[in-house]
Structures are given as structure tokens and as C-alpha cells.
Amino acid sequence: MVKPVARCGRSARELFGALLASIFVIVACGGESRSTQNHDGSPNGGSSGASGDGGDERDIPRLDGVPIGDCREPSDAERTTLGCPAAPPQEGASCNLARGVTCAYSLSTNQGSAYQDLYMCSNDVNRQWWSLQERCGELCTDGGPHVVELDVTDCTSRPADTCELEGAVFAYAPSANTLLSFTLGNVIDDCAPGTVNFSATLELERGCPTRFSTNYAFSPEALACIQAQLGRARYACGERLPCAETSKYLL
């Protein structure tokens, strides 16, 4: 089951969006599948870890040097097909968008992270526009002094994990970065249930974890469990991302 993850250093709008997302992730219907294309609209799904050519730095789409994973701004024609307005709507205004549809707009970067503006029509009787800034990717930073190095020599032979989150239903189309962040959080929760007040970073190559770092002193048993799970994984949601982070702090 996906659990909401609280992160430090986020803007007020993003924190509010994350709160909305953590509420809607349980009770609302999911978003549409997002096309995997580069920021310039060129195909971004041609190479994969299975063929050994995915995950190369040249294959990682970026905006202002920041990885954006599978986020991209749809064309006007694509928005029209979905029933989305050509320009971002006003939050709180009435809407009649099909349930489960996510309207994506501009991408931006801030302090080493990339974001995309997403708009949805609420599923309640009022049917009003609401929005959030979805994190698409980030520049890799060291998660802390406690490090596990992971072998990726067998990466291309590993079965791909589709990053499906059992029991989770999103009210919007989540980015690959979001799916990977929740996936990492679930690995930690499986190995060290109830752990709070920590942050962790996972670095990847072609979707295979290469390095796990954290500021938290996990027990040797928990670290061995984390290493075992990550050491055999290849995450499809991480093939266009060099890293992802997760954290959980008591407010």
C-alpha cells in the first residue's frame, strides 16, 4: 500500500499539492497513461534497460539541465483530445472534464528539481478545477553518510518492475519520479516498518539501483533487507531517471 511521503525543502504550493495528492491517492480514480517522450516531443520510449541502451545519460531528458523523466508538455491537439483547456484553468472554477483525466501544462525547474503543472476536475458533486505541481525529477544529491553500493552487472537480464503500487489509486497521472519515490519508500517500509525522520536517495543506471544513501542509521538487518530488494530490481519507472529520493518526517 502506498503511504504519503513528506519531504523537506518544498514550496508551499507543492506541500499543499502533496497534501491533496495524499488524500486523493486513496479515494479518487486514476489518471490517464502519459506518453513517454522527450521535452522536445521526440520519442522517449525507444530504448530500454532490456536492450542495454536505456539509462545512458544521453537518454535522460532534461530541462535546464534537470532530469524530467517521462514528463513532457502535451501538444494543443493532445489536450483537445483529452478535453483539456488550451491554457491552464482557474482553480476553483467549475469543470466538466471526464473523470480520471489529467491536464498537463508547463514544466519548470527550481533548486535542482523539475516540476509540471497538473490540473484535474474534482470527483465530488461540485466538480471544480484543482491543481498540483508534480515533481518530475531532480539532480542527484547524496542522501547521507549511510551508503549501500549495489552491483548492476546483471542489470539487463533482470525482469522489469512496472512500478505498479499495489492498492494505490491516484487522482492524477503520476510521474515516473513519483512512482519511483513511492516504490523506494515501500522498500524501506517493508524492511524497517514504522521508521520515520529519515531521507534517502536511490541512484540508478538503466533502471537498476547502483547506490542507496540515507541519513538514517538503519539496523544491519534492515540494510541487508534493503540491499537484497534493491540489488535484484530493475525499475521501468527509473529508466529515464538518474535518481529519486524519498523521506518521511513527523511534522
**Domain assignment present for 5:** no
Residues 186, 232 contacting (CB under 8 angstroms):
no
Instruction: Enumerate helices (H) and strands (E) in the chain, giving the number of each.
Output: 4, 9
What is the grid cell recorded at 4?
504519503
**107 shares a domain with 36:** yes
**173 shares a domain with 124:** no
**Domain assignment present for 167:** yes
Check residue 235 and report its DSSP letter: B
**Domain assignment present for 6:** no
**Domain assignment present for 59:** yes
Three-state DSSP state, 143: coil
63: which strand partners?
66
Last residue within a domain, chosen from 84, 106, 138: 138
pLDDT of residue 16: 40
**177 shares a domain with 91:** no
pLDDT of residue 75: 96
Give dist(CA 162, CA 154) in Å, integer.
18
**182 shares a domain with 123:** no
Last residue within a domain, chosen from 138, 159, 187: 138
**68 shares a domain with 48:** yes
**157 shares a domain with 118:** no
What is the grid cell recorded at 87?
491554457
Residues 61, 67 contacting (CB under 8 angstroms):
yes
Last residue within a domain, chosen from 138, 166, 184: 138
Distance of CA 72 to the CA centre of its chain: 13
**Domain assignment present for 4:** no
**82 shares a domain with 156:** no
Tell me which residues of the chain have a pLDDT lower than 70: 1-58
**Domain assignment present for 2:** no
**50 shares a domain with 166:** no
Give dist(CA 166, CA 1) in Å, integer.
6
**Domain assignment present for 7:** no
Using the structure block, give the residue that is written with the C-alpha cell 540515507: 214
**181 shares a domain with 123:** no
pLDDT of residue 27: 31
**Domain assignment present for 47:** yes
Total domains present in the chain: 2
* Residue range(s) defining the domain that contains residue 120: 12-138
**75 shares a domain with 17:** yes
Print burial letters for 108-122: b (CB count within 10 Å at least 16), e (below 16).
ebeeebbbbbbbbbb
**211 shares a domain with 115:** no
What is the grid cell recorded at 150?
549495489
**51 shares a domain with 133:** yes
